[in-house]
Amino acid sequence: MLLRAALIWLIIAGAETLHGILRVKLLNPRFGDRRARQVAVVSGSLLILLIGWVTVPWIAPLSTGQSLAAGGLWLALMLALDLGLGRWVMHASWERLLADFNPARGGFLGFGMLVLFVTPIVIASLRHVY
């Protein structure tokens, strides 16, 4: 089950990467970086839920615990990817990266990560997977 969840995370990571590229190309020029990031958390969350809707039955968690494990795996991998790319590829400061998670500074990425974490359990419940 976790191997399937990891494979689906690769799909999510690819979709979110394309989503980020589109954000930079389409939304940043119109709204600015900060507002574009805020809007993209909503559209990115919807994208994750859509991917989850299609794939969680294939992942086939057998319990709430397994759904939480899949969500936890997705969360851990996405945090590692986002923070790793941000810090060591894009050379962003830790302060800049953490600002994306701080609502007081306009960062809503924590909400998106919460959606990522709960998607398997929400979708499994809605689709009566177990």
Residues 52-74 have pLDDT tens digits of: 999 999 999 999 999 999 999 99
Q: What is the distance in angstroms between the CA of the first residue and the CA of the last residue of the chain?
A: 13
Q: Mean pLDDT of all residues in the chain?
A: 96
**Residue 128, SS3?**
coil
Q: Compute the distance between CA of residue 116 and CA of residue 113 in angstroms, rounded to an integer.
A: 5
Q: What percent of the chain has pLDDT over 70?
A: 100
Q: What percent of the chain has pLDDT over 90?
A: 98
Q: Which amino acid type is present at position 87?
A: R
User: Helix, strand, coil: what percent of the chain each, to 5?
Assistant: 85, 0, 15
How do residues 30-54 score in pLDDT, each as one tens digit?
999 999 999 999 999 999 999 999 9
Give the sign of the dihedral formed by CA 95, CA 98, CA 100, CA 101. Answer: negative
Helix 2-22 to helix 64-84 angle (10° resolution) is 40
How do residues 71-127 score in pLDDT, each as one tens digit?
999 999 999 999 999 999 999 999 999 999 999 998 999 999 999 999 999 999 999
